[in-house]
Amino acid sequence: MNKAQLVEAIADKMGGRQQAADAVDAVLDAIVRAVVAGDRVSVTGFGSFEKVDRPARYARNPQTGERVRVKKTSVPRFRAGQGFKDLVSGSKKLPKGDIAVKKAPKGSLTGGATATVKKAAAKKATTKKAAAKKAAAKKAPAKKTTTAAAKKAAAKKAPAKKTTTAAAKKATAAKKAATAKKTTAKKAPAKKATAKKAPAKKSTARKTAAKKATSR
């Protein structure tokens, strides 16, 4: 069966030959594009299409028998599904009024392996973000407690400074009072000396009176 015969076989089910041709072209194009991109296209019950890399190797020319080096290349590979194998081997009978290969679930035509890998990577990323948020939340209260402790320590230290300054002021005041007393005590004898000198003036007054008497 070629492509044209395949289109004719499904034309009645698709509502016309043109619709059937468009459907076949769309399915084949989607499979080819996915395999070329490196994705694995799997259809449940039918099989899977995938890209396989072949390393560089040596082969023989069938006509001349000459050994030829073959470069590294990539080839498409189809693996039949278990349902397809069972129908071909005869272990299962083809349904007459039903489709031989049932409809594939959603997402099976876009490469199941790559999709699962992407989902696993997304889950890991979300779990890492959640763990980072939890760690940040745990660290935040510790910082607050440390700042609160620092504030309390500063509050305790502040009164000690005030008391020391008050004591220093009292000491300076006492020193000033002591120095003032000393200076006043030193000045007091000088005043007494001046008071003692005052009677000398009286004696001079007496001498002047005596001189006046003699002159008479």
Who has greater pLDDT, 155 or 146? Answer: 155
Question: Does 157 map to a domain?
Answer: yes
| 64-94 pLDDT tens trace | 999 999 999 999 999 999 999 999 999 888 8
> What does the pLDDT average to over 143-150?
55
Whether 121 is covered by a domain: the verdict is yes
The answer to whether residues 101 and 43 touch, using CB atoms and an 8 Å cutoff, is yes
How many structural domains compose the chain?
1
Is pLDDT larger for residue 188 or for residue 93? 93
139: in domain: yes
CB-based contact 46:31 (threshold 8 Å): no
The pTM score is 0.45
* pLDDT-derived band at 190, boundaries 50, 70, 90: very low
Which position has the higher pLDDT, 142 or 89? 89
Task: Give the pLDDT score at 168.
Answer: 65
Residue 184 belongs to some domain of the structure: no
Does 145 reside within a domain?
A: yes
> Is pLDDT at 145 greater than 50 in this prediction?
no
**Does 131 map to a domain?**
yes
Q: Is the pLDDT reported for residue 183 higher than 50?
A: yes
Domain enclosing residue 154, as ranges: 111-161
Residue whose token pair is 């991109």: 37
Q: Does 186 have pLDDT greater than 90?
A: no
